[in-house]
A and B are shown apart, each in its own frame.
Chain A
Amino acid sequence: MSTMNLEPVPGRTDEMIVNMGPQHPATHGVLRVVLGLEGERITRAVPHIGYLHRNHEKIEEARTYPMVIAYTDRMDYVSGTQNELPFVLAVEDMLGVEVPDRAKKIRTIFFELYRLASHLVWMGTAMLDLGAISPFLYTFWDREIILGIVEKTAGARMLPNYYTFGGVRRDVHPDFFKDVADFLDHMERRMVDYEHLVLESPVVHARTKGVGVLDQERAVARGVSGPVLRASGVAYDVRKAFPYDAYPDVEFEIPTSPDGDTYARFWVRFQEMYQSIRILRQLLELTPKTGPYKGRAPARLKPPAGERYRAVENSRGELGVLVVSDGSDKPYRVKHRGAAFSNLQIIPDLFVGAKFSDAIAILSSLDPVFGEIDR
């Protein structure tokens, strides 16, 4: 217990134990960190999670395979369909379902649209944490357009329940490709503004450069992934390492930065948005306007007994799922590997020694989403 609730060290009167969260607006939801403070400097930090626990993995054991897709959505609620994909891929592998080429591309378009949406939310909230309010309004404005495009096709904005075994649930709206192309034009103009407001701002430089440095060995040892890992100079991206869906067909780069500080994590996310736009542009060219959107999946979904792990690169890192089947129509076990959950484990390493206001900047650069962390 003593590691969970920080006990004052006898004889150390200069250390103050402070509770940050779970209602603190800068903790992106419901994170609680117990901090030992020596003046402005953090001496100890213990993150507490679980305030949003909804027992996803256990519920999913009691649901049939198609039902589980609706539940996976609710994990990382900022990045919508990205959560559905690992589970869908794993079950498709077990069933041996063929996915039509066009369905794969549509899935990838949605995947990258949600990456843009998620990074826009990150940018807005991170700048809000640093004290700038306007970028938050602008990024949510742009995200609104993405969600509008998704709603037109999938019927919901944040939790679309759109992917299914063998493809997607329904064909895209006739305007879909034009809408996405228009949005990309809009987004490219907006990225110039965001560069000015965020990356080139001297305030952001002062707040983030050299703050919360995560070196390469520690990043790998702690199992972080996604932009946090790539900002520490490790070029690991599931999209390249274990390509899925339409990623083998498109060209893109993995931006990495050797610095490992908070600014590097900001910068990597920014470059990822450019890469997303690039991927989307290629996919718009490659995707046929009409054609099959769903392969043949058996009506009675009963994967043979066995297990399968599939991972995807979602906006926060490697999102994996281990599905164990016992041959019935319900999974025996579904284990999610959350990217934000793993990234959160470096909080004690990064917080200790930093100033309190830097802790907020570091936390926002990790981009945690508590729906996924607490599951």
Chain B
Amino acid sequence: MSLLQEVWQAVKAIGTGMATVHKRVYEEAPTEFYPYVKPELPPVSVQSLALVENEDGSERCIVCLQCERACPAQVITIERHRNPEGKGFLIDRFDIDLVNCMYCAACVEACPVSSIVTIQDFEMSTYDLQTLKADIDFLHEQARRARQWYSPKFGVELRTDDGRIEKAPPEMQPGGLAEILKPAEEVDS
């Protein structure tokens, strides 16, 4: 290759590089300016876990231990005792070690009553890891603060301003809508 050709090649390469950079400068980036703008996460996004209570404050969880059995990281610890009056069980202890949790949502999938749910609160950084060893109060608090959550059985649910729990409109629901809406109707009735 002659020297002239080489020089031309180099100039052309720099030219195309600069042209590309110039083109991109005016494009809108898909990222957000995070601390100033909160990203809008899809409702199914798994960022943290919460334990939902019913509207009247009673426990939704029936302590069936399905989530504990399904957890791949084995970070859920549940202790229960038989309900002395009536049937079912009562919770003695419900701990999730959110430090070692891998946010796979297998527990949420396993829960038959959509008590344990995924929420979009991703701001969980902390100086003290012990604060992420979640007990039942922590998990309830997560659910009370959350505006919306997701579980495969009930789909996306919203918390209204007066504290009621509502099913999100269909356009907010993720895929598999038919399957999501069917069990919900059964529960409502």
Q: Hey, which bits of chain A sit against chain B, CB under 8 A?
A: 63, 66-68, 70-71, 73-74, 134, 138, 141, 144-145, 148, 151-156, 159, 161, 169-174, 176, 193, 196-197, 200-203, 293
Write out the residue numbers on chain B whose beta carbons fall within 8 Å of the beta carbon of A173.
42, 44, 174-175
Looking at chain A's contact residues, the main secondary structure is helix
A-B pairs with lowest CB-CB distance, top 6: A171-B175, A171-B176, A67-B72, A70-B104, A155-B44, A70-B72
Write out the residue numbers on chain B whose beta carbons fall within 8 Å of the beta carbon of A293.
175-176
Q: List 27 A-B contacts (CB under 8 A).
A: A63-B72, A66-B70, A66-B106, A67-B106, A68-B72, A134-B21, A141-B31, A144-B31, A148-B30, A152-B42, A152-B44, A152-B174, A155-B45, A155-B105, A161-B104, A169-B109, A169-B152, A170-B175, A171-B174, A171-B177, A171-B179, A173-B44, A197-B20, A200-B13, A200-B16, A202-B10, A293-B176
B122 shortest CB reach to chain A, Å: 11
Q: Are A202 and B9 in contact (CB under 8 A)?
A: yes
Q: Which residue of A lies closest to B46 (CB)?
A: A155
Binary interface encoding of chain B residues 97-124 relative to chain A, with 1 for a CB under 8 A from any of its CBs, else 0: 0000011111001000000001000000
Q: Are B102 and A153 in contact (CB under 8 A)?
A: no
Write out the residue numbers on chain B whose beta carbons fall within 8 Å of the beta carbon of A67.
70-72, 106
A159-B104, A202-B13 given; A170·B42 CB < 8 A: no
Q: Hey, which bits of chain B sit against chain A, CB under 8 A?
A: 6, 9-10, 13, 16-17, 20-21, 23-24, 29-31, 41-42, 44-46, 70-73, 102-106, 109, 118, 150, 152, 174-177, 179
Q: A340–B180 Cα gap in the complex (Å)?
A: 40
Write out the residue numbers on chain B whose beta carbons fall within 8 Å of the beta carbon of A71.
72
Write out the residue numbers on chain A whose beta carbons fall within 8 Å of the beta carbon of B16.
196-197, 200
Write out the residue numbers on chain B whose beta carbons fall within 8 Å of the beta carbon of A66.
70, 106
Q: Are A145 and B13 in contact (CB under 8 A)?
A: no
Q: A144–B31 Cα gap in the complex (Å)?
A: 8
Q: A41–B51 Cα gap in the complex (Å)?
A: 61
A-B contact count (CB 8 A): 95
When the two chains form the complex, which single residue of B6, B9, B103, B152 contacts A156, counting CB atoms closer than 8 Å?
A: B103
Q: A153–B41 Cα gap in the complex (Å)?
A: 11
Q: Which residue of A lies closest to B110 (CB)?
A: A66
Q: Are A74 and B102 in contact (CB under 8 A)?
A: yes
Write out the residue numbers on chain B whose beta carbons fall within 8 Å of the beta carbon of A154.
44
Q: Are A170 and B152 in contact (CB under 8 A)?
A: yes
A70-B106, A155-B105 given; A197·B30 CB < 8 A: no
Write out the residue numbers on chain A whose beta carbons fall within 8 Å of the beta carbon of B23.
193
Q: A201–B10 Cα gap in the complex (Å)?
A: 8
B4 shortest CB reach to chain A, Å: 14
A149 shortest CB reach to chain B, Å: 10
Write out the residue numbers on chain B whose beta carbons fall within 8 Å of the beta carbon of A169.
109, 152
When the two chains form the complex, which single residue of A153, A159, A201, A203 contacts B174, counting CB atoms closer than 8 Å?
A: A153
A70-B104, A156-B46 given; A145·B30 CB < 8 A: yes
Q: Which residue of B lies closest to A148 (CB)?
A: B30
Other A-B pairs beyond A152-B174, A174-B175, 10, CB < 8 Å: A67-B71, A67-B106, A70-B104, A74-B102, A134-B20, A155-B42, A155-B150, A161-B105, A169-B152, A293-B176
Q: Which of the listed residues B13, B71, B104 has the most CB atoms from chain A within 10 Å of its own CB?
A: B104
Q: Are A170 and B45 in contact (CB under 8 A)?
A: no
When the two chains form the complex, which single residue of B44, B73, B105 contacts A153, counting CB atoms closer than 8 Å?
A: B44
Q: Which residue of A lies closest to B15 (CB)?
A: A196
Write out the residue numbers on chain B whose beta carbons fall within 8 Å of the beta carbon of A197.
16-17, 20
Q: Are B103 and A193 in contact (CB under 8 A)?
A: no
Q: Which residue of B lies closest to A73 (CB)?
A: B104
Q: Are A144 and B174 in contact (CB under 8 A)?
A: no
Q: Which residue of A lies closest to B176 (CB)?
A: A171
Q: A174–B157 Cα gap in the complex (Å)?
A: 18
Q: Are B42 and A161 in contact (CB under 8 A)?
A: no
Q: Are A141 and B29 in contact (CB under 8 A)?
A: yes
Q: A61–B150 Cα gap in the complex (Å)?
A: 31
Q: A128–B13 Cα gap in the complex (Å)?
A: 17
Write out the residue numbers on chain A whose beta carbons fall within 8 Å of the beta carbon of B118.
155
B7 shortest CB reach to chain A, Å: 11
Write out the residue numbers on chain B whose beta carbons fall within 8 Å of the beta carbon of A156.
45-46, 103, 105
Q: A202–B9 Cα gap in the complex (Å)?
A: 7
A245 shortest CB reach to chain B, Å: 19
Write out the residue numbers on chain A whose beta carbons fall within 8 Å of the beta carbon of B72.
63, 67-68, 70-71
Q: Are B102 and A159 in contact (CB under 8 A)?
A: yes
